[in-house]
Amino acid sequence: MPYSLDRRVRAECSSLVAAGYGVSVICPAGEGEAARYELDGVHVHTYAPPPATSGALSYIWEFAYCWIRTALLSLYVLRKHGFDVIQACNPPDTYWLLALLYKPFRKRFVYDQHDLCPEVFEARFGRRGLLYRAVRVLERGSYRVADKVVATNTSYRQIAMTRGRRSASDVRIVMSCPDPSRLRPGPAVPELRAGRRFLVTYLGIMGPQDGVDRLLRAIAHYVHVLGRTDCQFGLLGYGDSLPALRELADKLEIGPWVTFTGRVGPDEVRRWLSTADLGITPDPKCDFNDRSTMNKTLEYMAHGLPVVATDLVETRRSARGAAAYVTTEEELAEQVAALLDAPAKRKEMGALGRERIERTLYWDKQAIRYVGLFDELLGVQRRTIDLTGRVVHLPDRAAMAHTRSAAATRALGEK
Q: Are strands 148-151 and 42-47 parallel, antiparallel or unpaired?
A: unpaired
**How many angstroms separate the CA atoms of 229 and 126, rounded?**
35
Asked if residue 248 and residue 203 are part of one domain, the reply reads: yes
Asked if residue 209 and residue 164 are part of one domain, the reply reads: no
Q: What value does the mean pLDDT take over residues 260-275? A: 94
Judge contact between 142 and 103, C-beta under 8 A: no
Residues in the chain: 415
- 149, part of any domain: yes
pLDDT at 77 over 60: yes
Looking at residue 182, what is its pLDDT? 87
Looking at residue 258, what is its pLDDT? 98
- 184, part of any domain: no
pLDDT at 110 over 50: yes
pLDDT tens digits, one per residue of 194-229: 999 999 999 999 988 899 999 999 999 999 999 999
- 172, part of any domain: yes
- 183, part of any domain: no
**Mean pLDDT lowest for which of 51-65, 88-102, 287-301, 316-330?**
51-65
Asked if residue 194 and residue 164 are part of one domain, the reply reads: no
Residue 401: other Cβ atoms inside 10 A: 6
Asked if residue 163 and residue 69 are part of one domain, the reply reads: yes
The percentage of the chain sitting over the pLDDT mark of 90, rounded to a whole number, equals: 78
- 182, part of any domain: no
Judge contact between 257 and 229, C-beta under 8 A: yes
**How many angstroms separate the CA atoms of 156 and 134, rounded?**
20
Asked if residue 306 and residue 260 are part of one domain, the reply reads: yes
- Whole-Å CA distances, 366 to 113, 145, 292, 415: 15, 24, 17, 19
pLDDT band at 124, cuts 50/70/90?
confident
Asked if residue 222 and residue 354 are part of one domain, the reply reads: yes
Asked if residue 375 and residue 346 are part of one domain, the reply reads: no
Asked if residue 75 and residue 20 are part of one domain, the reply reads: yes
Looking at residue 412, what is its pLDDT? 38
What pTM value is reported for the model?
A: 0.81
- 118, part of any domain: yes
Per the structure, how many domains does the chain have? 2
Q: Which of 359, 375, 398 is the last residue of a domain?
A: 359
pLDDT band at 400, cuts 50/70/90?
very low
Asked if residue 324 and residue 276 are part of one domain, the reply reads: yes
**How many angstroms separate the CA atoms of 28 and 69, rounded?**
9
Residue 225: closest CA among 188, 258, 253: 253
Query: Domain range spanning residue 382?
Result: 3-177+363-414
Looking at residue 209, what is its pLDDT? 86
pLDDT band at 114, cuts 50/70/90?
very high
Asked if residue 375 and residue 350 are part of one domain, the reply reads: no
Looking at residue 387, what is its pLDDT? 65
Looking at residue 404, what is its pLDDT? 33
pLDDT at 139 over 60: yes
pLDDT at 290 over 50: yes
**Mean pLDDT lowest for which of 41-45, 182-186, 193-197?**
182-186
Judge contact between 309 and 281, C-beta under 8 A: yes
**Mean pLDDT lowest for which of 82-86, 258-262, 368-372, 405-409?**
405-409
Looking at residue 394, what is its pLDDT? 60
Asked if residue 328 and residue 210 are part of one domain, the reply reads: yes
- 185, part of any domain: no
Asked if residue 156 and residue 19 are part of one domain, the reply reads: yes
- 130, part of any domain: yes
Q: Kindly report the CATH number assigned to the domain that includes residue 58.
A: 3.40.50.2000
Average pLDDT, the chain: 90
Looking at residue 398, what is its pLDDT? 40
